[in-house]
Amino acid sequence: MKIYGEKRLMTTEPEHIKAILATQFDNFEKGPVTFDQFHSLLGLGVFNSDGERWKTHRNLTRPFFSRNRISDFDNFERHSEDTISVIKTRLGQGYPIEFQDVVARFTLDSATEFLFGKDVGSLGANLPYPEGSPLANDPSILNHLSNVFVRAFMQGQIQTAFRARFGKMWPLKEIWSDKVLPHRRQVDEFVNPILEERRKQHLAMAATEKAGDDGEGETFLDDLIKHTADNQVIKDELVNILVAGRDTTASLLTFCIYVLTERPDITERLRCEIMEKVGPNARPTYKIISEMKFLRAFINETLRLYPAVPFNGRTTKNPVVFPRTETQPAYYVPAGVKCQYSVFLMHRRADLWGPDVLEFDPDRFLDERLQKYLTPNPFIFLPFNAGPRICLGQQFAYNETSYFLIKFLQAFTDFQIAWDVQPESSRPPVSWKPAPGTTKGRDKVLHAAHLTMNVKEALWVRMKDASTI
Ligand code: HEM
């Protein structure tokens, strides 16, 4: 493609994506155009870096994903319990739950506790009420600091994704003002006090000579404070990991529950496995979660059909050749071409996954289809990317999602979309008829994407307290 004079290529070929991410990694970069587009939001953090700066950030970040740290189930327990409790209270008042919002709070509180050592208490702010209810626009809810943060964080991502549509011409759309920066400033206002408080504690600790302890109790923030005196660098890194850690897992959990509203049979199978392995009230352990094969297959199947990062791209630094495949000739790609790839579309290719590719069926990760399709060709399933820039939070995300789903399904069952309050604009047009090879006409809600994929607008859900069934 040529968009405003910029050369671009779009692929859904596993061999091409393998070349981009792994085998020809050194010939690709995020590149200067992407850097400019993302700079107002992500600054110089890990997501927005190439070359040596990326290596430095990656090395700085990696130790925080050690097995001990990502298996801190006390963190997940506290925030799952808080989430279940606010849901029960709201259901008790007779309202449905905006599920996409509540899980974004769960992942925000878990991620901030993991990163800062202290959560931002977003679950403590009031949950939204459906449009049309007397409390829907209550200023004390809208202006709660963590709700302001959440809105700014989302708007920053929407505006950033908008820039990407215009390639290198995007500054023409923002000649008079940077449309992302005000949102990033609001995000920073939220992070500033946390950072300042921690810096003061470090100074106090240094005065009593307790600093320098590299123990497991240290947070990511502690390490960054020791690493640099530049608050901007620290804030950039924190915002990067928040983008990485919060919206992705919230997207996954949202689509998990969307699927359960459609598939009571799967809810039942999940609950059976939970009752068998964990019981109705107990806490899951790392070992038990690793034995829950159906739960993992369910999560993977959700990531296949609804990958949190549906589109991505890299730019060629040097000319490259994509190898010939069974269906495609070899391609020569000059330097400076933006190569976009979509795992969303690749995950939905019948020639790679079989004729039932569009069916939601977790068993494809358990039965003979696994050996037939995925095992010989692992690059057909890439929700977390691959190669040297593979997601650092993959195991954290599997642990967090599994833990939450177990607790949630111990507490609730019988999930239904609350169509009486679900926004009209979130529903597919009635003119959409089922079309072969797509889920058009079958999807009950529209998907949208800024940097990550979500249900357009909201996902209002009703559910029953499992203890009353
Ligand atoms: C379902 C959950 C998640 C999904 C689907 C996911 C997916 C991804 C993908 C596709 C990338 C590559 C992005 C790119 O090309 O720049 C990525 C990178 C990354 N992810 Fe995740 N992620 C998830 C959760 C998390 C969590 C919970 C964390 C941290 C708490 C995290 C931390 C990171 C980091 C630090 C990177 C940057 C790696 C680099 O550029 O070297 N992710 N993730």
> Is ligand 1 within 6 A of the CB of residue 250?
no
Give the best-scoring range by mean pLDDT among 4-8, 446-450, 462-466.
462-466
Q: Ligand 1 in contact with 244 (CB < 6 A)? A: yes
pLDDT at 5: 80
Pick the range with the lowest mean pLDDT from 10-24, 66-80, 336-350, 404-418.
66-80
- How high does pLDDT run on average in the chain? 91
Is the complex ipTM higher than 0.90?
Answer: yes
Closest CA relative to residue 410, chosen from 466, 349, 463: 466
- Measure 393 CA to ligand 1 centroid, in angstroms: 6
What local confidence, expressed as pLDDT, does residue 308 receive?
Answer: 97
Give the pLDDT confidence of 71-83 residue by residue, as tens digits.
778 999 999 999 9
pLDDT of residue 217: 58
Please tell me the distance between residue 245's alpha carbon and the centre of ligand 1 in angstroms.
Answer: 7
* Residues forming a β-bridge with 342: 311
Ligand 1 pocket test, pick from 17, 248, 398 with the greatest ligand atom count within 8 Å of Cβ, gives 248
Beta bridge partners of 331: 322
Q: How far is CA 30 from the centre of its chain?
A: 19
The answer to whether 422 touches 221, Cβ cutoff 8 Å, is no
For ligand 1, atom 30, the nearest C-alpha belongs to: 245
| Index of the ligand 1 atom closest to the CA of residue 251 | 1
Q: Give me ligand 1 centre to Cα 67, in Å.
A: 17
CA 93 to chain centre: 30
**Token code pair at residue 458:** 């909201």
In this structure, which amino acid lies at residue 11?
Answer: T
Pocket test for ligand 1, best of 79, 391, 392, 450 (most atoms within 8 A of CB): 391
Residue whose CA is at the smallest distance from ligand 1 atom 20: 391
Minimum mean pLDDT range among 18-22, 225-229, 363-367: 225-229
pLDDT at 214 over 80: no
- Which of 155, 169, 57, 73 is CA-nearest to residue 114? 73
Residue 344: pLDDT over 90: yes
Average pLDDT value for residue range 372-399: 96
pTM recorded for the entire structure: 0.94
**How many angstroms is it from 21 CA to the middle of ligand 1?**
14
Which structure tokens are listed for 380?
């057909």
Is position 272 annotated in a ligand binding site? Answer: no
Per-residue pLDDT of 106-154, as tens digits, reads 999 999 888 888 888 889 888 889 988 888 888 877 788 778 888 898 8
Tell me the three state secondary structure of residue 15.
helix
Say what percent of the chain tops pLDDT 90: 67
DSSP notation for 74-116: HHHHHHHHHHHHHHHHHHHTT--EEHHHHHHHHHHHHHHHHHH
CB of 254 within 6 A of ligand 1: the answer is no
Ligand 1, atom nearest to 389 Cα = 41
Contacts of 231 (CB under 8 A, 6+ apart): 195
List the structure tokens of 117.
């050592």
Nearest CA to ligand 1 atom 36: 391
